[in-house]
Structure 1
Amino acid sequence: MLKCHLSKIMGEKRLKMSDVSRDTGINPGTIRRIFNETATRVELNVVETLCEYLKIEVGDLYELTKKSNEEKIED
Structure 2
Amino acid sequence: MMINHLSEIMGRKRLTQRDVVRGTGLAINTVAGLYRDESKRVDLDTIDKLCKFLGVTVGEIFEYKEDEEDEHVTQGN
Give the TM-score, by structure 2 length. 0.85
**1:67 corresponds to which residue?**
67
**Aligned pair count?**
69
Is 2:8 the counterpart of 1:12? no
By how many angstroms is 1:67 displaced?
A: 1.8
Percent identity of equivalent pairs: 36
**1:43 corresponds to which residue?**
43
Report the RMSD for the aligned CA atoms in angstroms: 0.9
Give the TM-score, by structure 1 length. 0.87
5+ residue gaps, structure 1: 70-75
Question: Deviating runs (4+, > 6 A) in structure 1?
Answer: none
Is 2:27 the counterpart of 1:2? no
By how many angstroms is 1:23 displaced?
A: 1.4
Decide which structure has the larger Cα Rg and report it: 2
**2:72 corresponds to which residue?**
none
